[in-house]
Amino acid sequence: MKKLFLASILMASFLASCKSEKKEATTTPKPAETAYVSFGEEFTANAPLTKENMRAKFENLQSGDTLAVSFTSTINDVCQKKGCWMKLDLGEEKESMVNFKDYGFFMPLNSAKSEVIVHGKAFVTVTPVAELQHYAKDAGKSEEEIAAITEPKYTYAFLADGVRLKK
């Protein structure tokens, strides 16, 4: 009885697997999506900001603010040890320092000058004059060099959870 039951189960599964239906793919990749290699989390970037628009957003951020955003830019520089950070051009001699969420992914070492779309959180860090002067003193700078530090340093920072690198 057990053998007959097992045989009928096997026969039913065999017949079900032989049933052939042709299913055609209903979605085809968009040309824009295939022009990029993805790193980190997948994201939808229907209308990423331009680097100029992103620079304007950074200029309006205050220390402590964050902005979830996607933007396009060109890579100025990449960490040459592991690809664990990159600097993106924002135009007008400004750039954004990009790190990767939880060091979950790295960029190719040869990706400088490539176009990217980044997705994540933008924020501004401010290093006060006193702290900059302290660092200069620790670095052995002269009294004149230390006294010349009169402005805080603003860093346009970005924590990317996903990056698309143009092929």
CA dihedral sign of residues 158, 33, 82, 140: negative
The arrangement of secondary structure in 33-166, i.e. its CATH architecture, is: Beta Barrel (2.40)
pTM confidence score: 0.73
Please tell me which residue, 14 or 130, carries the higher pLDDT value: 130
Hey, what are 21's tokens?
């239906």
Please tell me which residue, 48 or 33, carries the higher pLDDT value: 48
Decide if 44 contacts 161 (C-beta within 8 A).
no
pLDDT at residue 7 is higher than 90: no
At 151-166, the pLDDT tens digits run: 999 999 999 999 999 9
pLDDT at 31: 45
Please tell me which residue, 6 or 45, carries the higher pLDDT value: 45
What confidence category does residue 21 fall into, taking pLDDT thresholds of 50, 70 and 90? very low
pLDDT at 45: 80
At 112-133, the pLDDT tens digits run: 999 999 999 999 999 999 999 9
At 36-85, the pLDDT tens digits run: 999 999 998 889 999 999 999 999 999 899 999 999 999 999 999 999 99
At 45-56, the pLDDT tens digits run: 889 999 999 999
Helix (H, G, I), strand (E, B) or coil at 59: helix
Decide if 155 contacts 98 (C-beta within 8 A).
no
**Contacts for 12 with CB less than 8 Å, ≥ 6 apart:** none
Decide if 116 contacts 152 (C-beta within 8 A).
no
